[in-house]
Structure 1
């Protein structure tokens, strides 16, 4: 069962902080049920050191579960529901979580590439540590989500809706915010802030003075301003 910890008030900036989950898992049973099944129901189990590559768990429900050091290469989890669960050290390329729902979830030290989460709904989710390349969150809805101490390479937030989302001690490289809608998004804690597209969609976000200076050349180019020494 997850408890919710209220977020910060934004240190006087007026931005509302994300509410973080504090997942408290019950005693778990080791999972020995074979391959994942579409629309399967997984409750109170730990999936540890399993090769789930290429398996089909579309529409499955994971409740009070732990996925630890599992391989998720090409694993199909479209429309899956992951609730009150912790994913630690998962790795894989091309994991399909399109239209999935994650609520009260902690994702820790993941090594993922090309993860498909377009149309997904993330609510009270913490992504802590690890590296995720080419994360596809187009048209997704993120509410009370914290990216902490992780590296995001070319994440795609195109058309997504972000509300109370924080980036804390993480590197954001080549992010795409095209057509995104941002409300109470705090980017000040990003140790690297690289935005490839969608600078015009940053209304509703807060950045630091240093970040503004770093983004100045890109902003000038977008506005057609020529800067000469």
Structure 2
């Protein structure tokens, strides 16, 4: 009897079930603040400092996060819908059981962050910085990632489903059970030699062939 072999372990998606929420009424976020069971709707948090804060069982809808400082924050069992912003600082933050839906973000700092059971669905993120981050059970679905930086990051059970990856950087990254087969577009400009541990399709392999050849020093020429 031949036993079927699983090609790649599937990412586990978050199962967020929010309780009845209370509207946030404090006006501004605070460093090391504790936010539990709150709804933040159409709130402008631009430039505010919530470093080290904890968000648990919260919903953020239509909020502005331009230059919002959330370094070392913990975001647990939360749903973020339609958030927007440039330069949001989530460096060394922890995101667990989080859904990020239809976000419009640019220059988000998530270097050194830990993401576990996170779903990024829809929207567009430019210049996403995930250097030295740890991603486990993360799904990027039907979104656009422009020049995402996964340098020196660890990706385990990460899937790209209907996702457009433009000019991705995988320099020194470690990939384990990373599923790229259903990516709508796969463009890796650096670190293509780090794809060990990922699974791609035959057409994707052909598209990556020039970059792979360059990475291993293989010259491809005609016979003349």
State whether TM-score is above 0.5.
yes
Could you tell me which of 149, 166, 171 is aligned with 2:159?
A: 166
Structure 1: any 5+ residue segments left out of the alignment?
1-10
The superposition leaves residues 133-176 of structure 1 with CA deviations (integer Å, 9 ceiling, x where unpaired) of 00000000000000000000000000101000000001001111
CA distance in 2, matches of 1:137, 1:228: 36
Select the residue among 187, 199, 213 that pairs with 1:194. Answer: 187
How far apart in 1 are the matches of 2:162 and 2:199? Answer: 15
Matched, 1:47 2:40: yes
Alpha-carbon shift at residue 211 of structure 1 (Å): 0.2
- Alpha-carbon separation, structure 1, partners of 2:88 and 2:63: 12
Query: Which whole-Å CA distance do the structure 2 matches of 1:186 and 1:94 have between them?
Result: 28
Query: 1:68 & 1:84 partners in 2: Cα distance?
Result: 15
Q: Moved runs in structure 1, 4+ residues, more than 4 A? A: none
Which residue is equivalent to 1:89? 82
Say whether 1:112 aligns with 2:118: no
CA distance, structure 1, for counterparts of residue 21 and residue 46 of structure 2:
23
SS in 1 for 2:120: strand
Partner of 2:16: 23
Which consecutive unaligned segments of at least 5 residues does structure 2 have? none
**Corresponding residue for residue 70 of structure 2:** 77
Q: Deviations over 1:88-135 (max 9, x none)?
A: 000000000000000000000000000000000000000000000000
Q: Report 1:114-193 matches (<5 A).
A: 114-193=107-186
How does the TM-score come out when normalised to structure 1?
0.94
The structure that has the greater radius of gyration is 2
TM value normalised by structure 2: 0.96
CA distance in 2, matches of 1:13, 1:187: 15
RMSD of the alignment, in Å?
1.1
* Equivalent-residue separation in structure 1 for 2:218 and 2:130 (angstroms): 31
- Deviation of 1:12 after TM superposition, in Å, equals 5.5
Alignment partners' CA distance in 2, 1:46 and 1:184: 35
